[in-house]
Copies of this chain bind each other. A is one copy, B any other.
C-alpha cells in the first residue's frame, strides 16, 4: 500500500488490523464512516466485543471553505507530532495516537465512543463540571512544557522550526485576521447583522488592536499550540477531557489556545437565551462563567507552580512569572474576541449560534456575540479575570 489513495471502508479495516495490537487476529471487524468528509475521512473500526479504534485520513482539500481550497496532506504528520508531544506532557488530556502512516496521511487513534464532544454536551445541557478546570491544567502542562521555561534555548528553536505549519497557519491567518475585518466574499454575515458588520469594518480603533493580535499570532513562538482549540475539539466525560484534531498545531502565543476555549464557552453563553427559557438560560450561563473561571484558575495556578522549577535563573523570578501569566490573560481576551467575531460573521460558524431555531432569537444572540468580541478586544489590557466574570454574571442575571 504505497502511494496515497483515499481509504475505502476495507482499507480502514486493514489499516486498523495491521497497526492495532488490541484486536485478536481472527476476530471479525466492523467499520463505519463517522466523519463528514469535509477535511478528513474518519472511520470507526470495531471488534465483535465492542472494542474499537479510530482511523483518520487527511484529504487534500477543504470542502467547507470553498470549492477547491487545497490543503496539504502534511497536516496529518503535524497532527501526529502535536498529539505525541502533548501526549507525553499531558497523557490524561490528549487523545492517544496509536500509529501514524505518513505515506497515507493516516492516523490510528484511540476510540472514545463513550465520551461526548464538549460543544454537543454544552448544547444539550449536560453537566460538564470539572471539564474546564481539567482542560486548564492540561493547557498549563503542554504550553509550559514546550516553552522557553522548560526547554533549553537550542532545543526549543529546533522544535519551533520542526513543527512549523505554514499552510494551515495561513488558513488561520486568513479566517481570523483578514476576512472578518473587511467586506470579503468568504464572510457569511447573518441576516439582520449586515449593518453591525459594516460598522465593525469601519472601526479603525478595533482594527488597530486586531493588527497587533495578528502580528502576535504570526511572530510570537511561545509554545506548541493545539491551534484550533474550540469546544468541538475536546472529548469530555465526568470531569475529564481529551483534546483531539491537532492538525493546526504550531508554535505560537499561549493566549491563542486559551482564548479559543474561552471564546467557545462564550459563544455558548451568547447563544443560550436562544435555546432555553429565561430561568434555565440564566442558570446555564452562570455555569459557563464558572467554566471560564475554573479554566483560568486551572491554567494559571498550574503554570505558576511549574515555573518555580525552570532552569533559567531569569525566568524563575516569581514576579516575572506572574507578569507573564498576566500577559497570557490579556492575549487570551484579545484572541477570544477575534474568535467570537469570526465565528459570527466569518466563513465558519458554530452550532451554538447558527442552529438556534427562532430567527429573531438567533439574530439577537449573534449580535450579542459580535458585540462581546469587540468589547474583549478593546478591553483586553484592562479587564481582569474577576472583572470579566462579574460582568458576564451581570449580563446573565439581566438576560442581556
Using a CB–CB cutoff of 8 Å, the interface residues on chain A facing chain B are 148, 152-158, 160-162, 164-167, 169-170, 173-174, 177-178, 181-182, 204, 207-208, 210-212, 214-215, 218-222, 250, 312-315, 317, 319-320, 323-324
Number of copies of this protein chain within its complex: 2
CB distance from A320 to the nearest CB of B (A): 4
Taking A219-B220, A313-B182 as contacts, is the C-beta distance between A208 and B154 under 8 angstroms?
Answer: no
B181 touches A152 (CB 8 A): no
- A392 to B204 alpha-carbon distance, docked (Å): 38
Contact A313 B153 (CB under 8 A): no
Minimal beta-carbon separation of A110 from chain B (angstroms): 30
One of B160, B161, B214, B314 near A177 (C-beta < 8 A): B314
Please name 16 pairs of A and B residues whose Cβ atoms are closer than 8 Å in the assembled complex, sorted by A: A148-B215, A153-B166, A153-B173, A154-B166, A154-B167, A161-B162, A181-B313, A207-B320, A208-B320, A211-B312, A211-B315, A212-B320, A214-B315, A215-B315, A219-B220, A220-B221
Known contacts A204-B317, A215-B315; A170 and B148 CB within 8 A of each other: no
Bound complex: CA of A220 vs CA of B222, how far in Å? Answer: 8
Contacts of A323 in B (CB 8 A): 208, 212
Q: Which residue on B lies nearest to A162, using beta carbons?
A: B161
Are B182 and A169 touching (Cβ within 8 A)? no
Q: Are A157 and B169 in contact (CB under 8 A)?
A: yes
A177 to B221, CA, bound (A): 18
Which residues of chain B come closer than 8 Å to A210, judged between CB atoms?
314
A314 in complex: contacting residue of B160, B207, B220, B313, CB < 8 Å = B207
Nearest Cβ on chain B to A346's Cβ, whole angstroms: 14
**Which residues of B have CB within 8 Å of A207?**
313-314, 317, 320
Which residues on B sit within 8 Å (CB–CB) of A182? 313
Tell whether, in the assembled complex, residue B208 and residue A317 are in contact, meaning their CB atoms are under 8 Å apart. yes
A25 to chain B, nearest CB (A): 43
Residues of B within 8 A of A174 (CB): 153
A158-B164 in contact given A212-B320, A219-B220 (Cβ < 8 Å): yes
Residue of B nearest to A159 (CB): B166
Interchain CA distance A155-B166 in the complex, whole Å: 7
Cβ–Cβ < 8 Å partners of A156 in chain B: 218
B-chain residues with CB within 8 Å of residue A154 when the two chains form the complex: 166-167, 169-170
Q: From A152, which residue of chain B is reached at the shortest CB distance?
A: B170
Q: Out of B165, B218, B313, which one reaches A148, CB within 8 Å?
A: B218
Besides the known contacts A153-B169, A158-B164, A219-B222, 11 further A-B residue pairs in the complex with CB atoms under 8 A apart? A154-B170, A157-B165, A157-B250, A161-B164, A178-B313, A181-B314, A207-B317, A208-B319, A208-B323, A215-B222, A219-B221
CB of B320 within 8 A of CB of A211, answer yes
Residues of chain B within 8 A (CB-CB) of A220 are 219-221
A232, B261: Cα distance in complex, Å:
49
Query: Lowest 5 CB-CB distances: which A-B pairs, in order?
Result: A161-B164, A157-B166, A154-B170, A211-B314, A154-B166
Q: A148-B219, A177-B314, A211-B317 in contact; A164/B160 too (CB < 8 A)?
A: yes
Residues in B neighbouring A315, C-beta threshold 8 A: 211, 214-215
Given A153-B173, A218-B153, CB of A319 within 8 Å of CB of B161: no
A312 to B217 Cα, complex, angstroms: 14
Chain B residues, CB < 8 A from A324: 215
